[in-house]
Each structure stands twice: as C-alpha cells, then as structure tokens.
Chains A and B, each alone.
Chain A
Amino acid sequence: MKKVSIQFKLNGVLRQLKAAPNDTLLELLRDKLGVKSPKTGCDRGDCGTCTVFMDGRTVRACLVLAPEADGREITTLEAISKNPSPLQKEFAKRNSFQCGFCAPGIVLSATELLKKNKRPTREEIQEAIAGNLCRCTGYTPIIEAIEAVAGKRGA
C-alpha cells in the first residue's frame, strides 16, 4: 500500500512520518514513535486501553487511521506525567489500580472528565470511564479517587 506523509504534534513536538493509510494511530505511536502508554487491548475500540487525546478530546487510537491524525495535536500520558496531576497522585495514594494495564486510558478519560466538569456526580464519573475496561479492581477504588480529587478542586 502506498505510504502517505503525515505530520502531527505529539506531546508538544511536531513529528513528520510516512505511514500506510491503513496504519492506525496506535500502531504509529507504539511501533514507530516508541510511545508505549497507550496499550493494545482489543484493536476494535471496545476496551479503551489505547486512549489518547486528539485535539484535547479522548479518542481510541486503535480506531483512528494514521491520515486522520494529520495536522492534529496528540497528547499521551507521557506528557501529562512530566508534571503529575493531583488525580494521578490520588490514584497512587489509594492503590486504585492493580495490574495497571488500563491505568493510562483511565487516567486520560478521568482527566478529560474533570476538565469539562469540575464537580461530577458518581454517575457522571461511572459514565465517563465506562469505555475503559478494567478486570482487576471492580472500579470502585478508581471512582473514589476521582471523586476525592473532584471534591478537593471544588473546595
């Protein structure tokens, strides 16, 4: 398949590369750019482990074709972790995660929620992370950490 040239800002840095039109953004990030926080969990948009920000909104990197990322701004957990957020600290403090494979996606989904909605209800939190599957925790410790941070922010 003929490769196409694309460029996008990745964590603040402009990147140019060639990709097959059927490459996904996830493949680009993981295999060509060495960005490993977005994970391959299902490759069909079901599990949310490949969540990244595209122009400030969460997307499933496995459902974004490489040319669709052209001209966009992509932010991954790597960028956020340079200055860890109160949310990340709360997750760590509360032992919210177990295996941690879903953590990058959930941190990003919850970050997006708190950006849009400073004081989400429990139901809004559940809804916001419902696209990120976790098999270990039963979700409760994750929801409680988000609630705790939301409470502090509003205070």
Chain B
Amino acid sequence: MPELKTKPHSKRNHEPPKHDGSKKPAWVKPALELPPQETPRTAPEASQTAYKVVGTSAERIDGWEKVTGAAKFTDDIEFGPGLLYACVVESPHAHAKIKRIDTRAAEKVPGVVKVATGKDFPFKFGLYMKDRYVFAQDRVRFVGEQVAAVIACDPKTAKRAAALVKADYEVLPPVLDPVKALEKDSALIHPDLGKYAHVPWFFPKAKTNIAHWRKIRKGDVEKGFREADFILEDTYTVPRYAHCAIEPHSAIGLFDASGRLSMWTASQSPFTQRHGFAEALSGLGLSHKDVRVITPYVGGGFGGKAGISMEILGAALATAVKGQPVKVMWSRAQEFYNTYQRQGVVAKVKLGVKKNGLITALEHTLYWDAGAYVEYGANVVNAVGLSATGPYKIDNVKIDSLCVYTNLPPGGPYRGFGYSEFFFGLESHITRAARQLKMDPVAFRRKNAIREGDILTYGAPMNPNGLLEAIDKTAAAIEWGKPQKPSGPDKAVGKSLVLFWKAPAMPPNASSCAFLKFNEDASLNILVSGMEIGQGLLTVMAQIASEILTVPVSKIRVETPDTDRNPYEWQTVASHVTWGCGNAVKRAALDAREQIFDVVQRTLHLSKDSLYLEDAKVKCRTKPGWELPFESFIIAGIEAEDHTFKGGPVMGRGMFMPEFSSAISDPETGQGGHPNVHYTTGAGGVVLEIDKRTGKAKVLKAALAVDVGKALNPDLIRGQVTGGMLQGLATVLYEDMRFDEKGRLLNPSFSDYKIPTALDIPEVVIPIIVESAQPDGPFGARGMGEHTMIPAAAMVANAVEDAVGARIKSMPLTAEKIALELNKK
C-alpha cells in the first residue's frame, strides 16, 4: 500500500491551497523515485529549464517516410504466395441462440482450406473482464458477430464460400436500450455473468444486465442539496460513435510448425495483445515466449485499435492452418459494426447551487449502452464514475456509472474514454445553472474550478494544474463577453466556454520500458513499445533522449514494436505514453549517461561529478578544452594505460511504473484508492454562427487551452488540438450511428456516416498551450491527446443556445435538429 495516499483525507480545506511552494502535496513523492542524477548534467551554465531539444518543434522523425509513401502499415507487408485469407460469417441477428452451423457446402469450394466455427475455439478473452469468445458459442449478441470463418487461398474465394455457410438460429428479443435493459423482465444477455473473471475493481451484478457499477459517495449529497438555493435536474443523451481511423483493422497470423505464433497487427497494444493471445490460446500449449506481435505504423487508432478486437481471429485461425500465414482484414463496413464503438449514454444530472454561485452537490447517474461485450468498455464506465464531477470542487457527490449490456456492437475506448460523453451533459448543465443564477457562465466555472490539493471524488488530492490560466486564455481567444455581429439577417452568433479534464484510465501497475542502443557513429536506436499512432510518440521519445544525451534528433531512430525485441509497454492508450513511456526513455538515457561517465572516470581518472555532455561529447568542468567524442568509445570502449579496453557498447535501460497508484477502494463509496495518476485540465471555447433558416452551424472560431505540464514538442501539440477539435466537433455536428429496431447498423459507410472533409473545418482553430509542470512527468510533461476532443460537444450545445435560445439535450446537434427546434418556437 502506498503510504502517501492516506494523508490528504484528514484535511478538507474549503479554501484553495496557497501556492507559496512551501507545502508539497503528498502525491509529489513519486518524483523522488527518479535517480539522483535527475538534474540534467549538460553544459555547466545551463539551468534546469534551459532545454535545447525538449520544447522545440522538432520535425517528425517519421514525417519523411509518410510523405514519400515509404511508411509501411500492416496491410502493406508481403507474405508471399502462401498467404491465406479469412472471411468471417456474421450473425444477422442481434440476439439469438445458435441451433446449428452447416459448413459442408463451403468446405467443397475449390481453394477453401478450412472452415472454422466456435466449436474449434471455445476460448474466452477480454482485457478487464473475460466475457468475449473468439467466435460466438451458443448464442450471438450483436448483428455482425462472427460465428464462423472460411480460410481460402484468395480473398474472393473466401468471401464466396463464407456466403455458403448455413447457420440456423432461434431468435431472441434484442435488448437495445440501456435503461430498458435494467427492467426486471428484460432478457439477460449474459446469463452466466456471475461466473466471469474480471479485475477486482469491477462489480458485475449476476442475473442482471449490469456488467459493472461504479459508485462514488463523497460528503453528504442530501445535505448538499438541502444547502442549495436551487437545484437543476435534467437528462442528456449521447448516441454511439465510430472511430473511423482511415486504416482498417487487419491481422496476419502465422503459427509455424515449431509451435510459435507470430502476429502482425494494426494495433495500439502489442504487449497487451501478446498477453491476450497467449492467455486465450494457452489451451493449445502456447506460452508467452512463443507468441510474437509485430506492430508497424498504425493508420489512426483513437482507441479503436487498443486492446484486442478482431485480431483474436488472426491468432486463432492461424493455429487452424499451421505453417501458413493467414490474413484477416476488416472491410470499411466491418470497421463500423465489429470493432469497438464509442458507447452511448443516458446521463441524469442533478446539481445544487447556492445564490453566490457555489456548487453544493452533484448527483450524476449514467446508464451506458455498453454493447454485447464489455471487456474493455466497462473500464470506460469505471473511469467516468471516478471523474464525472468534471474539474470542479464539489464537496458532496453521488455518482453512479452503470455499465449495461445491450445487443449492440461491443463498446470500448474512443479518444476521450467516456469524458466527451459525460461532459456533454455536465457542461450543458453548468451553463444552464449559471444562466439561471444570472451569473456569467465563465465566472461561475472559475469560481468552482478545482485547484491543486482539492479533494477528488475518491479522496486523493488534485495535482497542480493551470486550469484558471486555461480558462482566462480561452476566454480571451474567443473574446468572451464581446458580442459578435452575424454575417447576415438570417444568422445568429453564439459563444461558449466549457472546461474539461481527463485522467489516464489504467490499471495501477501499467508500466513502460525503453532500451537505448548506441551505434559506432554515436547514432542511437531506441526500442520502446509505445505505438506511433500519429500523435508523434517516436519524435518526442527521440527528443527526450536527445536532451539528456546531446545526440541530435536526426541521429536517433525510434523503432516500432516487435515484442521479441522491444521491451514491455502496457498499451498506447489513455494519453499516457508521453508521460509513462517518456519517463522510461528518460531513465534509459540517464542510465546510458551514467555508463558513459563511469567508463570515463575509470579509465581517464576524471571525477564523474565534473563530467557533462555536450554535442555528443563528454566534457569536463575542471579541464576546459578537453573533450571525448562519443564515437571514439561508445562501442569500442576506452583504451586504458595498459592498452586494455574498458567499457564497451553503451546500452541504456529504463522502466517506469506509477508506484503510488492503487485501484482498490470501497465498492459502495469509491473511497480509499488512488486509481488516477493525475488529471490534465483545460478549457475550450467556440464562436458559432447558425443559419436560422436551415439550422446549419458554422464554427467561426474554436479555441482550446490545455495544460500539458511541459510542451515537449509544441508543434505536435498544436497538431493534436487542431485534429482532436475537429474530431470532437464532428461528433456533435455531423456524426452518429443509427440502428434499426432489430439492432442493425444503418450507416456503416463513409457515404452514410459522414466524417468531416477539408471543407467542414472551423474557420480558425486556436491551440493554447498552458504549462503547469507535472512533477513526475518527463521534464514536467503530461498527456493531452484525447483531451482535445472532449469539450467540443458541450461547447457547441451551449453556443447554439447562446445564439438562438434552443437548448438541445441529445447529441448530435445536426442542422436538421437545430432547424426543427427553431420551428417549434
């Protein structure tokens, strides 16, 4: 048990802590784990904050590969003429019992190698809860679920034969609504839920459709409502959304004659996949050492390629055709209906507020439409349960976040991890409360904004943050308070400003590792298993190593993962890799530097304390003019007086695990653990023009300020803001998944699920970087990739109300919906 989590409970201070630096909050402690040589020993005159590489907008180290088309993605890898192709047979029903599957006709098609069904693979898998199977066993739970697969010599034969597989079903009533799924007479989607293995911080309710129920009870919510001068209560709904990474999922598996399983996958999670494959297929005698996962560049992830989804098919099917590689590639339609989807939610918000603008209590109940399998999605529900206050100091809180099975495709992680969803309701509600108080919504937010040391829902203190600075800078960027003239008589302009926060949602022991290898010419290869999914991880890892070792970024390669060669990384999710993997790389660089100093001290008798690095050379404070270029010794070692050589190839090793984190708390109150390592906070603002005739909204200006702790590469951060903002705006203005009454997805294509094109962008996007250092982050950095999408929906909803007076409480706010609201008046 980490000792540092208990102290903050004792004191509930209603005043924001004084920022005099005299009192360090308890959670600062983890920073002390870093070795004592933490302080950069670069040039003697350099102060700790005068970084040379970190903080600069270095060009992406993968940029040239990408603009020339040289970058290889999973589907680009050649496997030769022996490659087989699989096509899955899908359930046409949302909920049914499988009576029989007849594969005979398919097996007779020339070129078909194997037809597999659930009987061949009675294996369960799942990240946080083992509730999924490789193929459906006795029942199907969503339209599109895999019940069989045909493996053939070419994709067209596989597809033709798959159409000949006959499956007979006994159709059951589908459960499509998370609130109805809780009714007593609702069909049970997982009758055996009580027997499923799961992480200890999930609380499934056997013989119901509730897969997990995260409860938070902080303070006395009834007392809080009694103290309130008014209470605002309402319900907000958010539909399902699709990630729409432009690269579809694909997986190639090869189970060779020696019993080794190699997998090539488009994945954010090579090690989590290796573990999942090894566990699921352990019945075949596989051990982790026999499973190898290779993950090249990923063409967009956004959470959709986290964990394991369709890739399990590549692993299982490979074992059915020993000795030949087999490829499973999702079509665009399958991308929509058989990968993780962002879960829908029905959220009830009850807020108590005093006349002076202080929030006294919050009751937030969220019913998540989590889909057929919740092995990953239940942790989205959990994360929201811990954080559904938003970045506000609220003393009396009751949160119920319920993960409800439905007969819709499996829910899972999507950039924002549930926060985009709950913030739509919460931040709509906050603006409405401020308006009822006749208080400026920005002033209202400022007054209640969480500060460092304030107590979080689960009892630990809030980390340092620049939230107030973010609010002020965003307000300035959108000229808050200054009315803006519409461009015509039928137009109206509205503004809004909302807050956001998000913590990485990780198991308490999620870790990151790095190896760093010098080459003869003092260039470097860094091995990590963080994934380059577009965010710029490789570049930032190179910058971190460059800062410590003074080797220029142009002389550093950071390799994409191969679990045989690269060291462990939990997953590239949760906006945690800049922080976690960055800490590991920094430690690996410090380890290498220590080896360099050590060999110089041993052979040249210069005290370690007097040594520093500059321009890939060792220099000495006490011996001006002396220098030792890395390439003279970094592989070959240093020749001593007796002509022996000391040292040898320098290889750094680094690991990071947040040793202060713990997920175990009281199930009834959520009090006691330290599940979140820290929160990244910020604010988003928008200036929106509505055409009152058509309801069409145009984003004139969008601004987003995010406290990144330390901007390691400001250009990449601005790129995240510009991209994430549009992805968020798309969920509120353009996109949503539509299902019919039988649970069939109606719009599984880019023709019918419209993601923004270059013509659909805001006129101006203003990224604002706030830097309030994260003490245990590399150079003070914390993550920010997901956060850029989170505020968009509420920003638009509040600006629409500001412009035309219509309060829309269900997403998306399409032109159609806005026009219909206006016609009601």
Contact = CB atoms under 8 A, between A and B. Distances in A.
Interface of A: 30, 34, 36-37, 39-44, 46-47, 49, 76-78, 81, 84, 88, 91-104, 107, 125-127, 129-143
Given A100-B534, A126-B758, A141 B70 contact: no
A136 B757 contact: no
Interface in B721-753: 722-727, 749-751
Nearest to B72: A36
Given A126-B758, A133-B755, A141-B722, A97 B67 contact: yes
Contacts of A30: 76
Contacts of A95: 57, 59-60, 63, 536, 715-716, 719
B67 A88 contact: yes
A133 B246 contact: yes
A104 to B, nearest CB: 4
Nearest to A1: B156
B73 interface: yes
B332 interface: yes
Interface in B76-93: 76, 78
A39 B758 contact: no
Interface of B: 57, 59-60, 62-73, 75-76, 78, 243-248, 297-302, 329, 331-332, 533-536, 715-716, 719, 722-727, 749-751, 755-759, 761, 765
B341 to A, nearest CB: 15
Contact of A142 (B329, B716, B758): B758
B758 A100 contact: no
B719 A141 contact: yes
29 contacts: A36-B72, A37-B69, A40-B248, A41-B247, A42-B749, A43-B331, A43-B332, A44-B749, A49-B246, A77-B68, A84-B67, A84-B68, A91-B63, A95-B60, A97-B60, A99-B297, A99-B300, A100-B534, A101-B245, A101-B246, A103-B67, A125-B758, A126-B758, A126-B759, A130-B758, A135-B246, A135-B723, A138-B725, A138-B727
A98 B758 contact: no
Nearest to A42: B332
B304 to A, nearest CB: 10
Contacts of A136: 300, 534, 719, 723
B758 A102 contact: no
B755 A135 contact: yes
A100 B719 contact: no
A23 to B, nearest CB: 9
Contact of A127 (B245, B301, B759): B759
Given A77-B68, A91-B63, A99-B247, A137 B75 contact: no
Given A37-B69, A136-B300, A92 B331 contact: no
Given A100-B534, A126-B759, A139-B726, A39 B299 contact: yes
B750 A36 contact: no
A88 B727 CA distance: 25
A45 to B, nearest CB: 9
A46 B747 CA distance: 13
Given A77-B69, A95-B57, A99-B533, A130 B719 contact: no
Judged by DSSP, the binding face of A is loop
A103 B66 contact: yes
B751 A46 contact: yes
B607 to A, nearest CB: 42
A100 B749 contact: no
A132 B751 CA distance: 13
Contact of A135 (B60, B67, B78, B300): B300
Contacts of B758: 125-127, 129-130, 132, 134, 139, 142-143
Contact of B68 (A88, A93, A98): A88
A103 B246 contact: no
Give chain B's interface secondary structure class. Answer: loop
Contacts of A92: 59-60, 63-64, 66-67
A80 to B, nearest CB: 8
A140 B722 contact: yes
A93 B68 CA distance: 13
Contacts of B332: 41-44, 46-47
Nearest to A85: B67
Contacts of B57: 95
B331 to A, nearest CB: 7
Contacts of B727: 135, 138
Contact of A42 (B59, B76, B536, B750): B750
A91 B68 CA distance: 10
Contact of B534 (A41, A98, A129, A141): A98
A135 B301 CA distance: 10
Given A138-B726, A141-B722, A41 B246 contact: yes
Nearest to B729: A138
Contacts of A130: 757-759
A107 B71 CA distance: 14
A104 B140 CA distance: 40
Contacts of B72: 36
Contact of A34 (B68, B78, B534, B759): B78
Contacts of B331: 43
Nearest to A81: B68
Contacts of A137: 719, 722-723
A97 B70 contact: no
B765 A140 contact: yes
Contacts of B533: 99
Given A91-B67, A95-B716, A100-B71, A138 B246 contact: no
A141 B248 CA distance: 24
Nearest to A82: B68
A133 B755 CA distance: 8
A99 B299 contact: yes
A131 B69 contact: no
A3 to B, nearest CB: 13
A78 B755 contact: no
A25 to B, nearest CB: 16
A70 B24 CA distance: 73
Contacts of B755: 133, 135
Residue picked from A36, A97, A101, most chain B C-beta under 10 Å: A101
7 smallest beta-carbon distances between A and B, as pairs: A101-B299, A100-B66, A37-B69, A98-B534, A99-B534, A46-B750, A138-B722
B446 to A, nearest CB: 28
B758 to A, nearest CB: 4
Contacts of A42: 332, 749-750
B719 A99 contact: no
Contact of A98 (B59, B723, B759): B723
B272 to A, nearest CB: 20
Given A99-B297, A136-B723, 19 more contacts: A39-B299, A40-B75, A41-B247, A42-B750, A44-B749, A44-B751, A46-B332, A92-B67, A93-B59, A98-B534, A98-B719, A100-B297, A101-B246, A126-B759, A127-B759, A135-B243, A138-B722, A138-B724, A140-B765
Contacts of A39: 73, 75-76, 246-247, 299
A36 B69 contact: yes
A77 B71 CA distance: 12
The residue among B243, B723, B749 with the most chain A CB atoms within 10 A of its own CB is B723
A98 B67 CA distance: 10
A113 to B, nearest CB: 11
Nearest to A107: B67
A125 B759 CA distance: 9
Contact of B245 (A81, A88, A99): A99
Contacts of B757: 130-131, 133, 139
B749 A46 contact: yes
Among A39, A134, A135, A142: residue with most chain B CB under 10 A: A135
A102 to B, nearest CB: 5
Contacts of A40: 75, 248, 329
Given A43-B331, A43-B332, A104 B69 contact: yes
B324 to A, nearest CB: 17
Contacts of B723: 98, 135-138
A34 B561 CA distance: 24
Contacts of B761: 126, 138-140
